[in-house]
A and B are shown apart, each in its own frame.
Chain A
Amino acid sequence: MQNFYWRWQFKTAPYRFIAPFFICFVVFVFIPFIFSIYLSFTNWHGEEAKTFVGLANYKTLLTGREFWQSLLNSIIIFVLYVPAMLLLALIFASCLSSSWMKWTGFFRTVFFIPNITSVVAISFVFLLIFNSTGILNQLLMNAGVIHEPIPFLETPWWARISVSLLVIFRWTGYNMILLLGGMQSISKSLYEAAEVDGASGIKSFWYITLPLMKRLLAFCTVLSTLGTFSLFTEPFILTKGGPNLATTTPVVLIYKESFQNLNMGYASTISIFFFIVMMILSLMQLRLFREND
């Protein structure tokens, strides 16, 4: 009897160790998720009675332009900022990991600070910079580069570029730290051998550093993909998702439908559909990773 009890204790121990997480997960994630699925079939505006409307919400979503536009916006913003951001991060990281660099600790900190500063604060500062009468336009006008203020937040493409610049500012440092870690794990002997063979700094970067960093760069791209599709604060504060939906990401759309229009049912539909799209994307990326191995 005693023996059986101990065996049971021993067998279930690991499950009891992970129980706290799973209880939280079920209460705060899983149950709301199931509830969202249910809501997506209703026409709920916050009242007590929920009317079941079947697939009407899904029809609205698939035939309307908003959702597809929001996915397209995310893809555009992704294309605008990810290559530029990774290139910058690579340059900074290789500078910081090179032997002639001083004050590396200081620079690492400085580049990382934007990532841990409040997004809202940064967004408001950028709002002041990009305004039609903002700092950036004033500077460019005084320097004689432009004669008319650039409509940074007023036309679709400029608005997307502004959001992208803000994202670059926030995330370059973070990616730099990741890449720096990768670079420092590359054995020094490789570079020494290259130097003996007479390869220049640029050549050794091209033929040694880059190939060995491929996987890490791919990892950064995956992280950025997830981040881009769930962008919210930056476009919401800069442009409220405008002009004419140009910077409306799926999450901005969900927010507007639920808290501005009180269309909780439809907002749930968007969330569920968005979840499916992200799922497919993540699976595709996992496949790519596997092939890279």
Chain B
Amino acid sequence: MNAMKRMSAAVLCSVLMLTLILSGCSGKTGESKSEGEAAGKKTKITVWIWEDAKNVIDLNMPEFKKQYPEIDVDLHVLAQSDVYQNFLIAASSSDEVPDVVNLESLRLSQMIETGGLLDITDKVAPYKDKMNAYKWADATKDGKIYAMPWDSGPVVMFYRNDLFKQAGLPYKPEDVAAQLKTWNDYMKFAKQLKEKTGVAMLAESKSQTDGVFFQQMLWQRDLWMFGKDGSVQLDNPEVIKTAQYFVDLVKNGYVYEVKPWSDAWYSSFQQNKEATIVGASWYEGLLPTLIDPDASGKWSVVPMPKWSADDKYGSAIDGGANLAINKNSKHPEEAWKFIEFMLGKEESQLKMMKEGGLFPSLETTYNDEVFKGKVPYFNDQPVRTLYIDAVKNVAPITYTKDYPLANELITNAFAEIFLDNKSVESVFKKAAAELRQKTGRK
């Protein structure tokens, strides 16, 4: 009996412990702030950020510490997809960590939708006219602003001047810019390149495309998966024509088949498989480091091709990031000081451009010498002026919260077109119907 008693006591104890542990789970972890305040009035703010974004923030950290010695910044590095997932969990459990979160434009409105971000309309007011106008659209919901723009990704065309020369094509930037003005010209260049050298014009995938090439073409034409009234536009005849262009490019054999951003994609550049990248300004940082480090001088830059020479807009946008404050943060003021210092201050933004290749959304920086600077990797071409021209010449498009879904449907649609040999029109009409059903849009 005694043994019995002891046993039941043990069981009871373990049950008690368990309930304590379980109830502890839902409790808030508020130790981080008390520690900081006890140690000489320092406030600690936590920033969730991904690796390459942290690298450019680090450039400005010494200055920041000088100006705000009382703020202690913990830059917590997460994989990009983890930032969103973890923030979702933090927001839905009203956690006060992180204070600041790094968000890409293409997922920003989705995150605003969750209601976890702080309304910073008043704080960003002084910057309202200083930033690229299009950046505010995704940061706004019901007239309130929830994020501060960081960088933009104006689209240009990077090309291999040596391969162009080999194919007997114009290869100097000014000549290429004069003769490769439209997507039609792009196709002609691709034809000659293929015939003379056997090299493809670009690297893309039939069944695993990330949709970026096609979406940049849409953006340049002031088209998108969604119209200005929020309706689904995938079955718009002009969108279908644009998709048809990409399909033709592939079917003519001008595209080297490889999944974008896969290992094979990276190495294909070093193997001279393709001659152009139609992509955003941030390739300037990637080309000399990760993509094609040995090809210094072989790459040049010209403006993005247009659909037709008299188009209203000349370029598109790909990517770009923002910083936002957690609604439940205990230190919104300090968090804002950090954001303002990094993104609102011209010196900080210029440093990130110069040493990190991030093109600022802050337009007041565009008159700086940095943008006139010659870039050694591009044959001393002053390429950054092209970004400024491009960014001033884009349609104000919003990604909207349904972008991730629409993007996936586009990937699947192209896979179906190529794998099952179906017509672009039929597949895009089907995708449009699916998108309408799942988003409840018109």
In the assembled complex, how far is the CB of residue A57 from the closest CB belonging to chain B, in whole angstroms?
10
**Is the Cβ of A6 less than 8 Å from the Cβ of B114?**
no
Q: Which of A20, A45, A156 touches B419 (beta carbons < 8 Å)?
A: A156
- Which residue of A13, A242, A259 has the most chain B CB atoms within 10 A of its CB atom? A242
- Residue A136 at the B interface, CB < 8 A? no
A-B contacts, 6 listed (Cβ < 8 Å): A9-B8, A24-B18, A45-B401, A46-B88, A245-B412, A266-B438
**Is the Cβ of B434 less than 8 Å from the Cβ of A64?**
yes
**Which B-chain residue is minimally distant from A245 (CB atoms)?**
B412
Q: Which of A47, A133, A244 touches B113 (beta carbons < 8 Å)?
A: A47
**Which interface class (under 10, 10 to 19, 20 to 34, 35 or more) fits B?**
35 or more
- Residue A23 at the B interface, CB < 8 A? yes
Interface residues of B in 236-268 (CB under 8 A from A): 257-259, 262-264, 267-268
Please give, as numbers and ranges, the residues of chain A lying within 8 Å of B205 by CB-CB distance: 154
Please give, as numbers and ranges, the residues of chain B lying within 8 Å of A244 by CB-CB distance: 207, 412, 415-416, 419
Q: Given A23-B18, A243-B419: A260 and B263 within 8 A (CB)?
A: no
A6 to B2, CA, bound (A): 11
- Residue A19 at the B interface, CB < 8 A? yes
In the assembled complex, how far is the CB of residue B422 from the closest CB belonging to chain A, in whole angstroms?
11
Please give, as numbers and ranges, the residues of chain B lying within 8 Å of A243 by CB-CB distance: 207-208, 412, 415, 419
Q: Which of B22, B113, B434 touches A262 (beta carbons < 8 Å)?
A: B113
**Is the Cβ of B419 less than 8 Å from the Cβ of A262?**
no
A240 to B258, CA, bound (A): 15
- Residue B11 at the A interface, CB < 8 A? yes
A contact residues vs B (CB 8 Å cutoff): 6, 9-10, 13, 16-17, 19-20, 23-24, 27, 45-48, 60, 63-64, 128, 131-134, 153-156, 239-240, 242-245, 256, 259-263, 266
Please give, as numbers and ranges, the residues of chain B lying within 8 Å of A9 by CB-CB distance: 4-5, 8
Q: Which of A13, A48, A131, A262 touches B88 (beta carbons < 8 Å)?
A: A262
Taken residue by residue from 6 to 32, chain B's Cβ proximity to chain A (1 for < 8 Å, 0 otherwise) reads as 011001101100110010000000000
Please give, as numbers and ranges, the residues of chain B lying within 8 Å of A134 by CB-CB distance: 264
**Is the Cβ of A256 less than 8 Å from the Cβ of B408?**
yes
Taken residue by residue from 159 to 179, chain B's Cβ proximity to chain A (1 for < 8 Å, 0 otherwise) reads as 000000000000000000000
A20 to B114, CA, bound (A): 35
Q: Given A23-B19, A242-B412, A244-B415: A132 and B110 within 8 A (CB)?
A: no
In the assembled complex, how far is the CB of residue A19 from the closest CB belonging to chain B, in whole angstroms?
5
Taken residue by residue from 399 to 417, chain B's Cβ proximity to chain A (1 for < 8 Å, 0 otherwise) reads as 0011011001001100110
In the assembled complex, how far is the CB of residue A264 from the closest CB belonging to chain B, in whole angstroms?
9
Chief secondary structure at chain B's binding surface: helix
- Residue B100 at the A interface, CB < 8 A? no
**Which B-chain residue is minimally distant from A66 (CB atoms)?**
B434
Q: Which of B11, B115, B412 touches A17 (beta carbons < 8 Å)?
A: B11
Q: Which of A16, A20, A263 touches B18 (beta carbons < 8 Å)?
A: A20
- Residue B1 at the A interface, CB < 8 A? yes
- Residue B92 at the A interface, CB < 8 A? yes
**Is the Cβ of A260 less than 8 Å from the Cβ of B408?**
yes
**Is the Cβ of A47 less than 8 Å from the Cβ of B115?**
yes
In the assembled complex, how far is the CB of residue A11 from the closest CB belonging to chain B, in whole angstroms?
12
Known A-B contacts: A23-B19, A266-B438. Give 9 more (CB < 8 A).
Answer: A16-B8, A46-B115, A47-B115, A60-B437, A60-B438, A64-B434, A64-B437, A155-B207, A256-B408
Please give, as numbers and ranges, the residues of chain B lying within 8 Å of A239 by CB-CB distance: 208
**Is the Cβ of A23 less than 8 Å from the Cβ of B15?**
yes
Give 4 nearest A-B pairs by CB, closest first. A243-B207, A46-B114, A244-B415, A243-B415
**Is the Cβ of A131 less than 8 Å from the Cβ of B262?**
yes
- Residue B91 at the A interface, CB < 8 A? yes
**Is the Cβ of B14 less than 8 Å from the Cβ of A20?**
yes
- Residue B206 at the A interface, CB < 8 A? yes
**Which B-chain residue is minimally distant from A56 (CB atoms)?**
B440
Q: Given A16-B8, A155-B207, A244-B419: A259 and B412 within 8 A (CB)?
A: no
**Which A-chain residue is minimally distant from B26 (CB atoms)?**
A27
B contact residues vs A (CB 8 Å cutoff): 1, 4-5, 7-8, 11-12, 14-15, 18-19, 22, 81, 84-85, 88, 91-92, 110, 113-116, 205-208, 257-259, 262-264, 267-268, 401-402, 404-405, 408, 411-412, 415-416, 419, 434, 437-438
**Is the Cβ of A133 less than 8 Å from the Cβ of B267?**
yes
A263 to B437, CA, bound (A): 13
**Is the Cβ of B412 less than 8 Å from the Cβ of A46?**
no
A48 to B110, CA, bound (A): 14
A48 to B328, CA, bound (A): 13
Please give, as numbers and ranges, the residues of chain B lying within 8 Å of A13 by CB-CB distance: 4, 7-8
**Is the Cβ of B22 less than 8 Å from the Cβ of A23?**
yes
**Is the Cβ of B257 less than 8 Å from the Cβ of A262?**
no
A243 to B208, CA, bound (A): 6
Please give, as numbers and ranges, the residues of chain A lying within 8 Å of B206 by CB-CB distance: 154
A264 to B138, CA, bound (A): 22
A238 to B1, CA, bound (A): 59
**Which B-chain residue is minimally distant from A157 (CB atoms)?**
B419
A13 to B12, CA, bound (A): 10
**Which A-chain residue is minimally distant from B110 (CB atoms)?**
A262
Please give, as numbers and ranges, the residues of chain B lying within 8 Å of A10 by CB-CB distance: 4
Please give, as numbers and ranges, the residues of chain A lying within 8 Å of B110 by CB-CB distance: 45, 262
A240 to B88, CA, bound (A): 21
A57 to B205, CA, bound (A): 33
A128 to B92, CA, bound (A): 38
A243 to B158, CA, bound (A): 28
**Which B-chain residue is minimally distant from A6 (CB atoms)?**
B1
Please give, as numbers and ranges, the residues of chain B lying within 8 Å of A23 by CB-CB distance: 15, 18-19, 22
Please give, as numbers and ranges, the residues of chain B lying within 8 Å of A60 by CB-CB distance: 437-438
A9 to B408, CA, bound (A): 60
**Is the Cβ of A46 less than 8 Å from the Cβ of B113?**
yes
**Is the Cβ of A19 less than 8 Å from the Cβ of B15?**
yes
**Is the Cβ of B19 less than 8 Å from the Cβ of A260?**
no
Please give, as numbers and ranges, the residues of chain B lying within 8 Å of A156 by CB-CB distance: 419
**Is the Cβ of B419 less than 8 Å from the Cβ of A16?**
no
A9 to B14, CA, bound (A): 17
**Is the Cβ of A16 less than 8 Å from the Cβ of B412?**
no
Q: Which of B7, B114, B208 touches A242 (beta carbons < 8 Å)?
A: B208
**Which B-chain residue is minimally distant from A159 (CB atoms)?**
B207
In the assembled complex, how far is the CB of residue B112 from the closest CB belonging to chain A, in whole angstroms?
9
**Is the Cβ of B404 less than 8 Å from the Cβ of A260?**
yes
**Which B-chain residue is minimally distant from A23 (CB atoms)?**
B18
Please give, as numbers and ranges, the residues of chain B lying within 8 Å of A262 by CB-CB distance: 88, 110, 113-114, 401, 404
Q: Which of B85, B408, B419 touches A155 (beta carbons < 8 Å)?
A: B419
